[in-house]
Structure 1
Amino acid sequence: MRRRARICSLKVDMYSESTTAKRGRDFSREVKNNSNSCKRRKVSPEAAAGKCDLFDALPDDLVLCILSKFSSTTTCPADFASLLITCKRLNSLGLHSMVLSKASTKMLGVSAKNWSESAHRFLKQCADSGNVEASYTLGMIRFYCLQNRGSGASLMAKAAINSHSPALYSLAVIQFNGSGGSKNDKDLRAGVALCARAAFLGHIDALRELGHCLQDGYGVRQNIAEGRRFLVQANARELAAVLSIPPTALTTRSWLTWNPLTNHRHVTGTSPAACPLLSDFGCNVPAPEAHPASRFMTEWFAARSGEPGPGLRLCSHVGCGRPETRKHEFRRCSVCGAVNYCSRACQAMDWKMRHKAECAPVERWLDENGEHEADGGHGNGNGNANVEMEGNVDYEGNAMDES
């Protein structure tokens, strides 16, 4: 019995030793694998000892997917910049083409006061990654601010090919005015075609511009009924855009009320930030938010005394920011001569927001050189009849004249 018990104890000891050795080998192999994995990721010696951070263990594809979602929803460039300086891995993956191609419009909204070569390179990198918003924004900055016309127009065309409606409309404005060239470089038919494409994609300013072109026969055969239809459609889309805004985001408490005495909707208190373009139908909607490219141009030229160059003028609509590329490129109000616009859409917006209360008729107005530039009259920039606004109501003296 003693001999049998001794043999059993020897077997148990041998089994326990072999099990312990096997477990030791497995543990050593696991530590070695973790160490090699950490070395490949170039982490600290502490991590190589078996203390890897869970973030370092995430695959790159998953991190890129998360960063792409972040870049498409962030509301300012500072948030994305804070992400890039977090660690080396986020800095390298954050500049991946997959992430930059998804960058939102607000993330690309660089301020003019913070403009630098690094900001220029970042927008260029986003544009090269296939981001159409970056192509449009950088194209506008190069064309109007940096006066690099060819490169700017090419970037806008790149965005327009990808059905970017603001780029299509901006190219239409360039064709209508012959921007970057002479007066003879205007191509009205090309401008109408680009405008029609942008309007088909739902761009409100393009709808309004196309409506005025059809009403006046500017670059297209005159069709007043069809032009009015486009103007009403622009109003409807504008109202739909406002109704989609959450009530908490509106600056006014109640921008639309009902008056039972007059049996139509009216505004009880107009906010200075409101844009009553729909007052024809009893509505007063908040002013639309300007595109980051327009805000950049406005800030850029405001820092330069509001003058894009000797004898050049800015579009009088505060939400536009476009400057003239040659003297007398934009059309002036032929009644007061105090304002000028790059397009009929900007004229309609500014008339309802501001100029209607300021326009004062004069017999003659002078240009910057003190010479008579044009007579105050009732012809518009197209050489046709009085300008009409949405809702079948005539503008009160808000005609435009070619400078």
Structure 2
Amino acid sequence: MLTCSRFRELGQHKLVLRRASPACVAVRAGAWCDDARRFLVRCAQAGNTEASYLLGMILFYCFENRKLGSELLGAAARRGHAEALYSMAIIQFNGSGLPKDGRNLHAGAQLCVRAASRGHNDALRELGHCVSDGYGVRRSLSGGRRLLIQANFRELCSAVATGGPGFAAALGLSGECKPPGPHMCLLSDYGCHVAGSAGRRAHAANAFLAEWYASRQLGSGAGAGALRLCSQPTCGRPETRKHEFRRCSVCSAVIYCSRACQALHWKVAHKNECVPMAHWLDAANANANANGNAVAAVEAAAAQMAMP
């Protein structure tokens, strides 16, 4: 009994809570309760950056407590948490929780720089597109291309390291000297499609958001029915206002909170589904004409049968 009491006291010690691992503080949406919230609050107050980030994402997006959520995300970002830095960049780029004119492109780009310097590959890819397009920073096509190639190389190396020899063989990385193939995934804006198809484990915060909104209606205010989730399934980020996220410029059927989500979804799914809007309109017109012809034929047959 004394051992259990001491163990319980040790588990609530600030030093233990501050050094709790990401797996320890990870909470599933289905298990969310007051006890889970209090545990994350204690960990965050003890200085656990992972708990600050996770609780900040939950409060900001799920409970729409923008102020407290932003404070927790900012606290984690100031301690150098790469995911928090990148999430704050997405919030700045989209102006989440603010009117459309509340976007701060320069702040978003600077946050991407800090996150990329800490090894966050999605932030590096986002920064590459920002530099290429002059989005919040001075435009440089060559500089943006270098950043995108670096992001593709990091992604490819990570996929090979986690995929094993079989995955390397599928990529043709057998160690033999071969001429460049037609794919040249390092030069793509979206990275290597084989690496993307291998998938990657979503962060606990993104997994929480995806599970949370899988069983709940998005939004609660007027016109909230028009709000949508990021089309990258493992992201889970919702819009905080109508038309907040970027749309696919070809089909306009999917939306993304960031370029990184767009690149990942393109590799794993959307490249096989994307159809220009003109094709959708042609198909709709063809169906309408077919339905109209069918109705006309039925009416003609009915009129003929009615004749004496």
CA distance in 2, matches of 1:231, 1:253: 21
Post-superposition offset of 1:332: 1.1
Aligned length: 270
Quick one: which amino acid aligns to residue 192 of structure 2? L
Query: Structure 1 pair 253/205, CA: closer, same or farther in 2 (3 Å)?
Result: closer
1:234 aligns with one of 140, 151, 162: 151
Superposition deviation, residue 265 in structure 1? 7.4
1:325 maps to which of 237, 240, 246: 240
Query: Percent of aligned positions with the same letter in both sequences?
Result: 50
Name the residue aligned to 1:303. 215
Shift of 1:104: 1.3
Q: CA shift at 1:178, angstroms?
A: 0.6
The residue that corresponds to 2:45 in the other structure is 128
Superposition deviation, residue 362 in structure 1:
1.3
Q: How does 1:130-279 map to 2 (within 5 A)?
A: 130-245=47-162, 247=164, 255-257=170-172, 263=179, 277-279=191-193
The match for 2:205 is 293
Counterpart CA distance in 1 for 2:279 and 2:239 is 23
Higher relative contact order by CA 8 Å / sep ≥ 6: 1 or 2?
2
Contact 1:217 1:223 in 2 (8 A): yes
Q: CA deviation at 1:226?
A: 0.7
CA distance in 2, matches of 1:284, 1:300: 25
Residues 258, 265 of structure 1: 8 Å contact kept: no
Aligned residue identity for 2:241: R
Shift of 1:230: 0.9
Find the aligned partners of 2:93 and 2:145 in 1 and give their Cα distance.
Answer: 20
Alignment match of 2:266 (pick from 351, 356, 365): 351
Structure 2 distance, partners of 1:219, 1:116, is 40
Higher percent of residues as strand:
1
Task: Mark the runs of 5 or more structure 1 residues left unpaired by the alignment.
Answer: 1-41, 44-55, 57-86, 268-275, 367-403
Residue of structure 1 equivalent to 2:285: none
TM-score, normalised via structure 2 length: 0.80
Instruction: Quote how far apart the aligned CAs of 1:237 are.
Output: 1.9
Contact 1:213 1:227 in 2 (8 A): yes
In the other structure, the counterpart of 2:20 is: 103
Alignment-mate amino acid for residue 232 of structure 2: H
Q: Is the 8 A contact 1:214 1:220 kept in 2?
A: yes
Distance of 2:201 and 2:137 partners within structure 1: 30
The answer to whether the 8 Å contact 1:256/1:284 transfers is: no
1:239 deviation in Å? 2.7
Q: Cα–Cα, structure 1 residues 244 and 130, in superposed 2: closer, same or farther, change >3 Å?
A: farther
1:98-141 superposed Cα distances (whole Å, 9 cap, x missing partner): 11111111222201011001100001111011100000010000
Distance in 2 between residues matched to 1:207 and 1:220, nearest whole Å: 14
How much has 1:261 moved relative to structure 2?
12
| Higher helix fraction (1 or 2) | 2
Q: 1:300 to 1:266 in 2, by over 3 A?
A: farther
Distance 2:66 2:280 in 1: 32
Cα separation, partners in 2 of 1:106 and 1:320, compared to 1, 3 Å: same
- Contact 2:227 / 2:239 at 8 angstroms: preserved in 1? yes
Are the aligned partners of 1:317 and 1:350 in contact in 2 as well (CA < 8 Å)?
A: yes
Moved over 6 A (4+): 259-262
> Structure 2 counterpart of 1:293, which letter?
A
Q: Distance in 2 between matches of 1:317 and 1:365?
A: 22
Contact 1:257-1:265 within 8 A present in 2 as well:
no
Q: Distance in 2 between matches of 1:108 and 1:255?
A: 36
**Cα pair 2:196 2:267 within 8 Å, conserved:** no
Residue 324 of structure 1 and its aligned partner are, at CA, apart by 0.4
Hey, what's the Cα distance between the residues in 2 that align with 1:350 and 1:94? 40
Normalised to the residue count of structure 1, the TM-score between the two structures is 0.62
Q: Is the 8 A contact 1:142 1:149 kept in 2?
A: yes
1:317–1:346 Cα contact (<8 Å) kept: yes
2:196 and 2:264 in contact (8 A); partners too: no
Is the CA contact (8 Å cut-off) linking 2:160 and 2:168 kept in structure 1? no
Listed as ranges, the gaps of 5+ residues in structure 2 are: 184-189, 282-308
In the aligned structure 2, how far is the partner of 1:285 from the partner of 1:263?
24
Q: Is the 8 A contact 1:255 1:285 kept in 2?
A: no
Moved more, 230-239 or 138-147: 230-239
Name the residue aligned to 1:35: none
Q: Deviations over 1:251-277 (max 9, x none)?
A: x6964345889855799xxxxxxxx93
**Distance (Å, rounded) in 2 between the aligned partners of 1:157 and 1:310:** 29
